Amino acid sequence: MNSKIVLPLFLLVLLYAGCSSVSLSRKKASAWENFRYPEINFVNKASGTKGWEIYNRIIPKPEEYINASILEVVKTLYWSEKDSIPGVNKINYELRNVDGISAKGGAPPVINIFYSSRWVEKSEAGGGDDKVLFETRGVLLHELTHGFQLEPQGIGTYADGGEFWIFIEGMADAVRVHNGGFPEGNRKPGGSWKDGYQRTGYFLEWLTTKDPDFLRKFNRSTLEVVPWGFDKAIKHVLGRRHSVDALWNEYQKYLKTASGKNLNSF
């Protein structure tokens, strides 16, 4: 005689939820499991400096460290490895005994990034090993974004200092903000969305409160809005009723309202 086992409804719901959770986790993992990392050519040009000694002690495997940061960047800018990601095949990463902080040069398939050993020394003096790791990761996220982000079309060049430049530097710092790469307290009211870097970056990250995928969609808008423009791209992503100036004003009101709170809490 065959008998059927009838499970209570709440157990069926739990089982279904558990299976769905596992399925979702596997889907997220599979979106990047075949991502092709570029070749990392790490070159130490700061031998004998204190900065190199600190860097080498804290980050003994720079290639692995850089690859981990690359994955953070591409996951912030794209949905999966199948998206239109610039084909970066090789990254020449140099530690140099020079003033300044860091910079990216070149274009896919080969990009070049330098990082200052003197900046490592200053970071160590200002906060020890933890500060070096925090700053090195934040700077790396910014520079790697320049290698993997898309670029606006039909609005001039980076050198013009216009909306092309604002997008490039704003998005690089937005990715850094999104991944916790700036110290608490850096976000403050004032300025303009046209200022680039952190000012624009924090604003773009705040727009993820309007759409959690805003950074991905804003990056992709460079392929879909031609000629590109900040206001046109925001309308493309968030809807025609929105404008960059109105959103900036709303953002400023939010910052002033939250001035007595933790401004880094979105």
Task: Please indicate, yes or no, whether residues 144 and 187 belong to a single structural domain of this protein.
Answer: no
Q: Coil, strand, or helix at residue 4?
A: coil
Task: Please indicate, yes or no, whether residues 138 and 183 belong to a single structural domain of this protein.
Answer: no
Task: State the pLDDT at residue 170.
Answer: 98
CA separation for the pair 224, 30 (Å, rounded): 26
CA separation for the pair 73, 2 (Å, rounded): 56
CA separation for the pair 205, 201 (Å, rounded): 6
For residue 103, report the phi and psi dihedrals to the nearest 5 degrees: -160, 155
Task: Please indicate, yes or no, whether residues 138 and 210 belong to a single structural domain of this protein.
Answer: no
Tell me if 95 sits within 8 A of 117, measured CB to CB.
yes
Q: Is residue 82 part of a domain?
A: yes
Task: Please indicate, yes or no, whether residues 43 and 139 belong to a single structural domain of this protein.
Answer: yes
Band of residue 184 on the pLDDT scale cut at 50, 70, 90: confident
Band of residue 62 on the pLDDT scale cut at 50, 70, 90: very high
Task: Please indicate, yes or no, whether residues 47 and 144 belong to a single structural domain of this protein.
Answer: yes
**What is the domain range of residue 109?**
39-148
Band of residue 168 on the pLDDT scale cut at 50, 70, 90: very high
Lookup: tokens for 67: 């690859």
Sequence-ordered list of residues with C-beta below 8 angstroms from that of 50, at least 6 positions apart, any chain: 117, 121, 124
How is 100-138 classified by DSSP, letter by letter? Answer: S-EEEEEETTEEEEEEEHHHHHHHHHHHHHHHHHHHHHH
Task: Please indicate, yes or no, whether residues 189 and 228 belong to a single structural domain of this protein.
Answer: yes
pTM of the model: 0.86
pLDDT surpassing 70 at residue 264: no
Helices (H), 3-160: 9-30, 50-58, 62-77, 117-148
Task: Please indicate, yes or no, whether residues 79 and 122 belong to a single structural domain of this protein.
Answer: yes
Q: Is residue 33 part of a domain?
A: no
Q: Is residue 27 part of a domain?
A: no
Q: Is residue 229 part of a domain?
A: yes
pLDDT surpassing 60 at residue 165: yes
CA separation for the pair 175, 180 (Å, rounded): 9
Tell me if 150 sits within 8 A of 226, measured CB to CB.
no
Lookup: tokens for 261: 């709170």
Task: Please indicate, yes or no, whether residues 193 and 137 belong to a single structural domain of this protein.
Answer: no
Tell me if 41 sits within 8 A of 90, measured CB to CB.
yes
Task: State the pLDDT at residue 266.
Answer: 41
pLDDT per residue as tens digits for the range 95-144: 999 999 999 999 999 999 999 999 999 999 999 999 999 999 999 999 99
Lookup: tokens for 218: 């804003």
Q: What is the mean pLDDT of residues 150-169?
A: 95
pLDDT per residue as tens digits for the range 185-237: 999 999 999 999 999 999 999 999 999 999 999 999 999 999 999 999 999 99
Q: What percent of the chain has pLDDT over 70?
A: 86
Task: Please indicate, yes or no, whether residues 215 and 130 belong to a single structural domain of this protein.
Answer: no
Task: Please indicate, yes or no, whether residues 207 and 242 belong to a single structural domain of this protein.
Answer: yes
Q: Is residue 8 part of a domain?
A: no
- Boundary-marking domain end, from 99, 117, 148: 148
Domains in the chain: how many in total? 2
CA separation for the pair 183, 237 (Å, rounded): 29
